[in-house]
């Protein structure tokens, strides 16, 4: 266990400064990550190699990386093989699909992620369905990766779209190992929809494990779909995850029934001045996550529609008087002043995850059973 970033930097230098190492830093998006994990040549022994992948070339320039290599797109042969494995589970298309496959390859432009997602989207479909979907790709004026990926999203059922957007907006990299439990808290039927998303290559599963991963470009595409619901009015969107948008909505009581999920997790601890009534108009709120924030007062109202309630440092000793969620699954109030007084009001038969770590006023958990039916 490492107590702080500074301690981690010191330990890296102490243990590895005389060792020849191979270090791979994948998908770096901030200079600070490079500075802390691969600070300079004195961090590792002579002959060490550090490989960095990023979509921002300027990061490498800022960190004085000696050699850079720009990944080229796949050639025609490799593109066709990757596409066919996802579309047909073989390395080349059946004769009747050759022309259609060539059209699909032209849209992906040699991008591995696009080839994988487009191929998965066309899998197990007949020629007429292929034609219909490929026509959607043709209508994209500028075939950016986001627009190509969005076609697969548009083909999803409503429930799968809902789960996909929940993951894109609220399940970050550190939480992906708990994806299955989290999305089941967000919606019934989540297990089936997760399998659909895996089949479409919109998320990736780890064989023999419950872990799931979502590519950053796919996550960005999902968040852009939500942003486009109301580009200039965050309070009218279905999901809020950018902390400045959330702070504005809470402090100005701008919420409405459109909002299904909120995650407030700023990079540095923020103080929130609010009336406590911001959730009064959010009667469809299923997800509420608050971390690294200090509220001026506790909530006077919480929607009974909540299924995932996670509030680090919850500012009150009790939950609102009229809060009686019938489908609550996740309840996490770590580091709070919360006290267990009437557990039967909040612990329904659906609750599967509880966390009261560092709650100084909770020393034991009472009997949660409510009746013979629960």
296-317, pLDDT tens digit by residue? 999 999 999 999 999 999 999 8
pTM score over 0.95: no
Determine the average pLDDT of the residues in 123-128: 94
Highest mean pLDDT among 20-29, 61-70, 121-130: 121-130
370 and 239 housed in the same domain = yes
More confident residue, 116 or 176: 116
150 and 162 housed in the same domain = no
319 and 352 housed in the same domain = yes
Considering the chain, what percentage of its residues have pLDDT values greater than 90? Answer: 45
Q: Is residue 227 part of a domain?
A: no
Determine the average pLDDT of the residues in 184-206: 80
Q: Is residue 257 part of a domain?
A: yes
- Give the separation between CA 261 and CA 185, rounded to whole angstroms: 12
What b/e sequence results for 1-15 when a residue is b if at least 16 CB atoms lie within 10 Å of its CB, and e otherwise?
A: eeeeeeeebeebeee
Provide the 3-class DSSP secondary structure of residue 325: coil
pLDDT at site 371: 43
Residue 184 is part of which domain span?
158-222
More confident residue, 297 or 63: 297
CB-neighbour burial class of residue 22 (10 A; exposed 0-12, middle 13-18, buried 19+): exposed
pLDDT at site 7: 84
The set of long-range contacts for 221-224, using a CB threshold of 8 Å and a minimum separation of 24, is 221/145, 221/146, 221/149, 221/150, 221/153, 221/168, 222/153, 222/164, 222/165, 222/167, 222/168, 222/169, 223/168, 223/169, 224/146
CA of residue 38 relative to chain centroid, distance = 26
Which CATH number fits the domain that encloses residue 370? 3.80.10
Q: CA 32, 36, 39 angle in degrees (round to 5)?
A: 105
87 and 186 housed in the same domain = no
- Give the separation between CA 337 and CA 311, rounded to whole angstroms: 11
Contacts of 64 (CB under 8 A, 6+ apart): none
Structure tokens at 53: 């992948």
Q: Is residue 71 part of a domain?
A: no
154-182, pLDDT tens digit by residue? 989 998 999 999 999 998 765 555 666 67
Domain count, the chain: 4
pLDDT at site 141: 65
Last residue of a domain, one of 154, 172, 197: 154
Last residue of a domain, one of 172, 200, 222: 222
Phi, psi of 337 (to 5 degrees): -95, 15
Contact 344, 373 (CB under 8 A): no
CB atoms within 10 A of CB 268: 6
255 and 333 housed in the same domain = yes
Contact 119, 90 (CB under 8 A): no
pLDDT of 372 strictly over 80: no
């Amino acid at each position: 266990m490492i107590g702080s970033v500074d301690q981690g930097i010191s330990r890296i230098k102490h243990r590895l400064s005389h060792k020849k190492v191979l270090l791979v830093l994948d998908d770096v998006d901030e200079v600070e990550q490079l500075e802390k994990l691969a600070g300079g040549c004195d961090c590792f022994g002579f002959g060490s190699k550090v490989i960095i992948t990023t979509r921002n070339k300027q990061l490498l320039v800022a960190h004085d990386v000696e050699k850079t290599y720009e990944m080229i797109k796949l050639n025609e042969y490799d593109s066709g093989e990757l596409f066919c494995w996802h579309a047909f589970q073989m390395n080349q298309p059946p004769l009747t699909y050759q022309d259609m496959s060539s059209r699909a390859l032209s849209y992906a432009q040699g991008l591995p992620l696009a080839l994988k997602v487009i191929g998965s989207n066309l899998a197990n479909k007949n020629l007429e369905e292929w034609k219909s979907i490929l026509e959607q790709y043709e209508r994209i004026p500028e075939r950016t990766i986001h627009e190509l990926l969005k076609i697969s999203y548009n083909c999803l059922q409503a429930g799968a779209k809902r789960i996909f957007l929940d993951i894109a907006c609220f399940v970050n990299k550190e939480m992906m190992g708990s994806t299955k439990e989290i999305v089941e808290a967000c919606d019934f039927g989540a297990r089936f929809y997760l399998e659909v998303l895996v089949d479409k290559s919109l998320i990736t599963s780890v064989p023999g494990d419950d872990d799931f991963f979502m590519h950053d470009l796919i996550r960005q595409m999902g968040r852009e779909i939500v942003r486009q619901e109301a580009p200039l009015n965050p309070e009218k969107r279905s999901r809020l995850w950018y902390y400045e948008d959330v702070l504005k909505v809470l402090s100005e009581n701008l919420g409405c029934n459109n909002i299904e999920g909120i995650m407030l997790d700023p990079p540095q601890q923020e103080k929130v001045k609010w009336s406590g009534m911001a959730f009064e108009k959010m009667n469809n709120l299923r997800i509420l996550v608050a971390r690294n924030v200090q509220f001026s007062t506790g909530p006077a109202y919480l929607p009974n529609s909540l299924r995932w309630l996670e509030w680090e440092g919850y500012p009150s000793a009790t939950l609102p008087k009229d809060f009686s969620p019938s489908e609550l699954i996740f309840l996490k109030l770590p580091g709070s002043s919360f006290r267990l007084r009437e557990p039967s009001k909040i612990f329904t038969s659906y609750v599967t995850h509880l966390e009261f770590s560092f709650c100084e006023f909770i020393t034991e958990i009472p009997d949660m059973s409510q009746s013979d039916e629960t």
